Structure 1
Amino acid sequence: MTTHDPDDQENDMTSLQNQTVLVTGANRGMGRHYIPQLLDRGVAKVYAAARDPRLITVTDPRVVPMELDVTDENSASAAASVATDVSVLINNAGIIRGASVLDRDSTKLREELDTNLFGPLALASAFAEQIARKGGAIVNVASVLSWLPVGASYGVSKAAVWSATDSMRLELAPRGVQVLGVYVGLVDTDMASFSDSPKSDPADVVRQVLDGIEAGADEVLADEFTRSVRAQLNLPVGQRRLG
């Protein structure tokens, strides 16, 4: 499997220039950092998707605010029927509840699965045909907690995204679609405000994601901790070094 090291130089990079990109969760967190960086790379259009598109305040004419609830399959289908020019889909939206996996009330886990797993799957399904026609890309933002048993219910949802991303790549590769999985530890956004541990700069993570798209990578491992954990997946959990 190909991974993307942000320090590597690619000689055969494609370009995001003139592409049409849809970003979910574009109003906050990492999502809001995609818009200016995509514009800087010369995209033709960005569909900036959020449940409340009024929260998208960028005035560039290439930015099209879009109402989208990723947990609603009808909303995903409606978005695909409107945004027929999309060539790159970035499944960025996510939530964290962090409930115990043994909690008899599975409400929080189901909320995470609806947003973090079934949302990206619904959007990929809705947009796959047109992205395949354009030879485009689908990006799924997962987490280092896909591989560590310390994320409670959130980790369960992200482990599912990891598996779904690999399956999606296998299905779509023959149709010329790049499927990029993004794995990262704590990022300096509202979602990680509960922790005082070091965090990645969201703008830097987004830069790596966009570099990964242009490099044709399968994975972006966005920080040293994530790269270390990824390299130890052949070991039992109890033998992995986390520091």
Structure 2
Amino acid sequence: MKIKNAVVLVTGANRGIGLAFTRELLARGARKVYAGAREPSSVAQAGVQPLRLDVTKPEEVAAAAALASDVTLVINNAGIAQPGGFLAPDSEAVARRIFETNFFSVLRVSKAFAPALKQNGGGALLNVLSVASWVNGGELAAYAASKSAAWSLTNALRSELAGQATQVLALHMAYVDTDLTRGIDVPKTSPGDIVRRALDGLESGLEEVLADDVTLQVKQGMTAARPTYLPQPA
């Protein structure tokens, strides 16, 4: 999948990783970039086409698919998080809210745009996931579980869309310097670095990008004698 002359939809495009995607796509010569956001007026990036898109609302997803029927690349970036474990009093409500955005909306958008991708030659689907797809220490329990589910969804979509020649890429990374991680005192990677590695991988035909050292170490440790998804000795 080449970015030059591509027509791209980015969900959650008004800030953070989504905003970084729109900037890098334009820099690489994308012909058109639809910047999806709940409130189109919040999209400040010049050169993009703001698109009203609350991914949790089926009617807005359907309207976006009808309007942006020329897409060749869909980037499922919109996501939310909330601290807390599964034993917290409100954990069921929190999990349902997070899964609605991080899992069901990825499914909803992917289904809605799959016919357009097929019509336009196959194109690609890029799902923004996380190192939390593989590890869950309970600090962001529902978020991590939703990303695990979205990883499984991505793997299934890769198989289901293979027949229409749609490339499906899973993007995994650890902490990124965005509003989502504000207040968390850990090393963070810049959104621009994550996006450049993601698009480099996409253009190289990859199916998975591990966008930082932490993610690479975690993935490599999945088959260790004590795998990285289990609590590690102090």
Q: Shorter-chain TM-score category?
A: over 0.9
> How many equivalent residue pairs?
228
Report the AA paired with residue 75 of structure 2.
I
The 1:103–1:81 alpha-carbon spacing in structure 2 relative to 1, beyond 3 Å, is same
Supply the distance in 2 between the matched residues of 1:42 and 1:242 (Cα, whole angstroms). 48
Work out which structure has the larger RCO, using CA pairs closer than 8 Å and 6 or more positions apart in sequence.
1
Paired residues of 2:136 and 2:229 also in contact (CA < 8 A): no
- The unaligned stretches of length 5 or more in structure 2 are none
Structure 2 residue 141 is the aligned partner of structure 1 residue 152: yes
Provide the residue aligned with 2:46 in structure 1: 59
- The unaligned stretches of length 5 or more in structure 1 are 1-13
Report the AA paired with residue 73 of structure 2.
V
Q: 1:111 aligns with which of 91, 97, 103?
A: 97
Secondary structure in structure 2 of the residue aligned to 1:21: strand
Q: How does 1:152-231 map to 2 (within 5 A)?
A: 152-231=141-220
Secondary structure in structure 2 of the residue aligned to 1:81: helix
Q: How does 1:138-149 map to 2 (within 5 A)?
A: 138-149=125-136
Aligned-residue identity in percent: 43
Paired residues of 2:134 and 2:229 also in contact (CA < 8 A): no
The 1:53–1:239 alpha-carbon spacing in structure 2 relative to 1, beyond 3 Å, is closer
TM-score relative to the length of structure 1: 0.89
Secondary structure in structure 2 of the residue aligned to 1:69: coil
Shift of 1:104: 4.9
TM-score relative to the length of structure 2: 0.92
Shift of 1:35: 1.4
Supply the distance in 1 between the matched residues of 2:93 and 2:170 (Cα, whole angstroms). 26
Q: CA RMSD in A?
A: 1.8
Give deviations 1:21-55, integer Å, cap 9, x for gaps.
Answer: 00011101111111121111111100000000101
Paired residues of 1:131 and 1:137 also in contact (CA < 8 A): yes
Secondary structure in structure 1 of the residue aligned to 2:126: strand
